[in-house]
A and B are shown apart, each in its own frame.
Chain A
Amino acid sequence: MSTYSLPPKQPKSTSKKVKRILILLAVAAIYIWTFLGIEIDWGRAFERMANNFDRVVPKLFNPDWTATSEVALKIWETVLIAFAGSLMAAILAVPLGFLAAQNMTRSKILTAVGKWILSAVRAFPDIILAILFVVAVGPNAFAGVLAIAIGSTGMLGKLYSEVIEAIDMKVIEAMEANGANKIQILFYGVMPQIIPEFLSYAIYRFEVDIRASSILGIVGAGGIGTMIIFASSNRNWNEMGLILLAIIIVVTIIDFLSARIRRKIV
């Protein structure tokens, strides 16, 4: 049975091989660096866990209902922060999205500038922005709104620019051929193609922002996070249980609604 002729060996370019080896080496180096560098005192951690387990975990599942009204108020504030912030971002991101879209500006430099601004904004974690705004406008919910607004602009602007780059340019060409001016093309050629996706992304971002705004209070920017930080420093795990429950419920509801609305739009 072994009289078959073997197939010729697969020709592989050396540059591809080198590339692959380099990537492998880099990944290996990262892991070695990580495992040599990280120090965890396992003994102490587990000793603490053994001591704390009973004081924390059962209480999380036994929420402190007396705090309900306060938690409800703060969760409401969280929703408001996320809403105001993502709406601001949804609007701020439009000009940036157009700026970063190659087919709209038709200029390599402008596109690069737009893309750079957007990725620079995205590189700041929301909570760092919140720290800056808390210092600027004081420890209140509005600092949270600003942090969410700026933080979301980076991501939305990028998504918007991708939507714009994917539109059907033939329509625009046809309108140009008809003698339509730039504003007319924008309103009749570009807008109808992008609005459903823009809305869908903005609503999706609201989903993300609900999660984000629920932690901003940790640095003083309002919302339920304020209670998280108090509950954790007071070791009030019953209250933490209620907060956790409230977050899970609100996020689930908003995810559900947002998914339904988005399905309707696109």
Chain B
Amino acid sequence: MTKQTKPEALRKTPSIYPTKTKLQITIIFFVVLGFYLFSMVWTQREMVGGFGDALGNMYTVIEKFFPPNLEVIPKVWEAMAQTIQMAVIATTLAAILTVPLALLSAQNITTFKPLYLFTRTLLNTLRTIPDLVLAVIFVGLFGVGLLPGILALFIFSLGILAKLISETIEAVDMNPLEAMRASGGNIFQVIYFGLIPQVLPQFTSFVLYVFEINIRASVVLGLVGAGGIGLVLDQQLGFYNYPNAMAIIILIFIVVIVIEFISNKLREALI
């Protein structure tokens, strides 16, 4: 909308927008609004009692969930630990395997175009599949347990991580790499000395970020039988034992916050 060539400060001139832009924006606004209203009607059409009732319900629900039964926490602690362990293993595997994949899908390193396009497309497709769908399929293959959960998380995070890192690689300064080539370094030495120092901080930061995502994802994988705390939560909900469910939700909430906090501190220490 605004011309990029204009310096920051000039952009704010309260210009009278041309009629064409005005018209365009009005149309877009009404299309978005119309689609929104349509979505709201559509998604509420199966709802008994409509929106007003729902608000009333909300209150009853909050009552049902409270007070949470905190006594259940020691019993579910093991499942929570499993969830975290799943995330640790999946993140580690993804971090290792992402290195070759990211190199192969970075245009400035993989100059052989068909190979680069192949890995790119593969990763892009991989990233469209939601983690839970992967979990459903792996549970179908391996049966209920931790292994399908780990595999689902691993594949899911591999897609994200490889994309983020290949973009980082594409943004590096290629000049030092040229210098190392000119002084007779082989491809491994060029990558190790020219590339890795440039991407290592972002790499660690992205791995930690993906770890956070995996913690959150591994919580819910249990809902489809892939082990961990989600499985327990699903059972409690199945028994309509809402105070227990609430205690588990609170536990999840605290664990996620604590891990995010640690991961943030680690990131600050490393960069």
Contact = CB atoms under 8 A, between A and B. Distances in A.
Interface residues of A, number: 77
B85 A119 contact: no
B85 A214 contact: no
B39 A251 contact: no
A72 interface: no
B257 A84 contact: no
Contacts, number: 195
Contact of B9 (A34, A127, A168): A168
Interface stretch (B46-54, B171-179, B195-203): B46-54
A165 to B, nearest CB: 15
Contacts of A53: 141
Contacts of A114: none
B67 interface: no
Nearest to B51: A142
Interface size, B (range): 35 or more
B220 A138 contact: no
Contacts of B92: 31
A136 B51 CA distance: 11
A81 interface: yes
| Chain B interface mostly | helix
A117 to B, nearest CB: 13
A40 B128 contact: no
Contacts of B11: 192-193
B198 to A, nearest CB: 21
B190 interface: no
A264 B2 CA distance: 10
A168 B6 CA distance: 14
A11 to B, nearest CB: 20
A40 B228 CA distance: 12
Interface stretch (B68-76, B103-111, B131-139): B131-139
A115 B195 CA distance: 36
Q: Which of B92, B130, B137, B142 has the most CB of A within 10 A?
A: B130
Interface of A: 19, 23, 30-31, 33-34, 37-42, 44-46, 48-49, 52-53, 56-57, 60, 77, 80-81, 83-84, 87, 119-120, 123-125, 127-128, 131-132, 135-138, 140-142, 144-145, 168, 170-171, 188-189, 192-193, 196, 211-212, 214-215, 218-219, 222, 225, 228-229, 232, 235, 237, 240, 243-244, 247-248, 251-252, 255, 264-265
3 nearest A-B residue pairs (beta carbon)? A141-B43, A84-B39, A251-B128
